């Protein structure tokens, strides 16, 4: 399989991405609901202190202004999910850390989230999986009782 030429990430050591989902439509709908008064600003701008700290410590500042308050540029932070990442499951990571994890553990999910550090707006921007299709994820020794 050829490398994805569509990867716009200029960061070096970017992990291979597959099953990429762009959440721009949902983001646009959420903003439209907010503008039309169909949703509450407190609801849309509900970034937790944990998310705010993750954006500050591990995220990157973008050139895009916040679509809600317009006062600050948005920050983006990556979160990793999956059994393959072990204790890192559900934690924020830098792009370099995601790259390192992807080389070590081939199959896990990455969520790119945008956050406004002024008003608390946050939304999922993009999700993808690392690794190669068909690559079995590295499993932890955690057992599931799902199979009878
Ligand atoms: Zn804002």
Per-chain residues with Cβ under 5 A from ion ligand 1: 66, 68-69, 116, 118-119, 121
Whether the Cβ atoms of residue 15 and residue 130 lie closer than 8 Å to each other:
yes
Lowest mean pLDDT among 37-46, 61-70, 116-125: 37-46
Q: Cα separation of 68 and 85, whole Å?
A: 34
Helix, strand, coil proportions of the chain in percent (round to 5)?
Answer: 30, 30, 45
- The pLDDT tens digits for 72-129 are 999 999 999 998 899 999 999 999 999 999 988 878 999 999 999 999 999 999 999 9
Number of domains in the chain: 1
* pLDDT for 105: 84
Other beta carbons within 10 angstroms of residue 115's beta carbon come to: 25
Among residues of the chain, what percentage have pLDDT more than 70?
78
- Between the CA of 142 and the centroid of ligand 1 the distance, in Å, is 40
Domain that holds residue 27: 17-31+44-112+119-130
The answer to whether position 96 is within a domain reads yes
- Between the CA of 94 and the centroid of ligand 1 the distance, in Å, is 22
The answer to whether position 10 is within a domain reads no
The answer to whether position 138 is within a domain reads no
Whole-model pTM: value is: 0.78
Q: Could you give the residue ranges of the DSSP H alpha helices within 59-119?
A: 95-104
The answer to whether position 141 is within a domain reads no
The pLDDT of 63-76, averaged and rounded, is: 96
Q: Cα separation of 61 and 20, whole Å?
A: 22
- Between the CA of 85 and the centroid of ligand 1 the distance, in Å, is 32
């Amino acid at each position: 399989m050829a490398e994805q030429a569509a990867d716009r990430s200029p960061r070096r050591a970017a992990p291979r991405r597959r099953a990429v989902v762009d959440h721009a439509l949902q983001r646009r709908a959420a903003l439209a609901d907010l503008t039309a008064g169909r949703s509450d600003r407190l609801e849309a701008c509900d970034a937790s202190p944990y998310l705010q700290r993750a954006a500050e410590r591990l995220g990157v500042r973008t050139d895009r202004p916040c679509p809600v308050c317009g006062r600050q540029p948005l920050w983006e932070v990556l979160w990793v999910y999956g059994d393959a990442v072990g204790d890192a499951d559900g934690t924020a990571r830098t792009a370099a850390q995601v790259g390192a994890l992807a080389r070590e553990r081939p199959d896990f999910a990455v969520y790119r989230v945008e956050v406004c550090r002024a008003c608390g707006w946050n939304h999922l921007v993009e999700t993808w999986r690392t690794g190669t299709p068909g690559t079995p994820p590295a499993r932890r020794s955690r057992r599931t009782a799902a199979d009878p």
